Amino acid sequence: MKIILTGFEPFNGSKVNPSAEVVNRITHGLFPEHKLIRRVLPVDSVVAIDWMKRVILDQQPDIIIMLGEASLRPVVSIEKIAVNWMDFQIPDNSGNQLFDTSVVKEGTDGLFSTLPVSEIFSALKTVGIPAEISLTAGAFLCNQLFYTGLFYSKFFEKKNQCGFIHLPPLPEQIVEKDAASPSMHIELSLKAIEIAIQTCIESKKAG
Ligand code: PCA
């Protein structure tokens, strides 16, 4: 199977992004029979979105798992729904700030993740990793990428699995900001995403 795994570069003044760290640490060796395409995307609402459209059309992947940081989330958040709306509270890293506008003009209001969301949640719980099924991916770039991935995946007869998982910040980000807010160690986030990928592969094999 062809699997796409994306993360994002740091944004909003941070030096790191847990999603990029996970993407860079995932080893192909864990999924030897599968082709894993990894990419850390710029926090740019034009470049990241164009890349996603292109990779879907060119590669026609079987599984697309997109990752991002959710600054105030205490647990791994498996996103259930992408909304066709953008309202950036901060500019992206290139200065784009989109308000009250749709992701895809002709798109429907919302699209559900096609990842096995409940199975991933159960699998994480089983190994003791704190997680939740989240009903909002926000209105910034992560939601924009998530919606775009789902929208363009619909053009193919071959059904893929496509979805988004948000990760809490890393402990060093919280220390650096001197904030009293949640974080998760990289090893735990990494384990969560390895389990998520494995769960998707098994569910796809089961048809
Ligand atoms: N998180 C942001 C964009 C990049 C990232 O890692 C978001 O939740 O939209």
**Domains of the chain, first to last:** 2-206 (3.40.630.20)
Q: Check: CB of residue 3 under 8 Å from CB of residue 37.
A: yes
Instruction: Measure 29 CA to ligand 1 centroid, in angstroms.
Output: 28
Token digits of residue 148: 């775009």
What's the DSSP call for residue 30?
A: G
User: Ligand 1: which residues within 6 Å by Cβ?
Assistant: 8, 11, 17, 19, 43, 68-70, 138, 140-142
Indicate which atom in ligand 1 lies nearest the CA of residue 67: 6
Instruction: State pLDDT tens for residues 140-153.
Output: 999 999 999 999 99
* pLDDT, averaged across the chain: 97
Token digits of residue 185: 């160690």
**What's this model's pTM, rounded to 2 decimal places?**
0.98
Token digits of residue 57: 């059309």
Cα dihedral across residues 45, 3, 168, 116: positive or negative: positive
Backbone angles phi, psi at 174, to 5 degrees: -70, -40
Quote the pLDDT of residue 207.
Answer: 85
Task: Spell out where the chain has E strands.
Answer: 2-8, 35-41, 63-69, 76-79, 81-83, 110-112, 131-134, 161-167
CA–CA gap between residue 80 and residue 134 (Å, rounded): 6
Instruction: State pLDDT tens for residues 101-124.
Output: 999 999 999 999 999 999 999 999
Most ligand 1 atoms within 8 A of CB, residue of 5, 11, 21 to mutate: 11
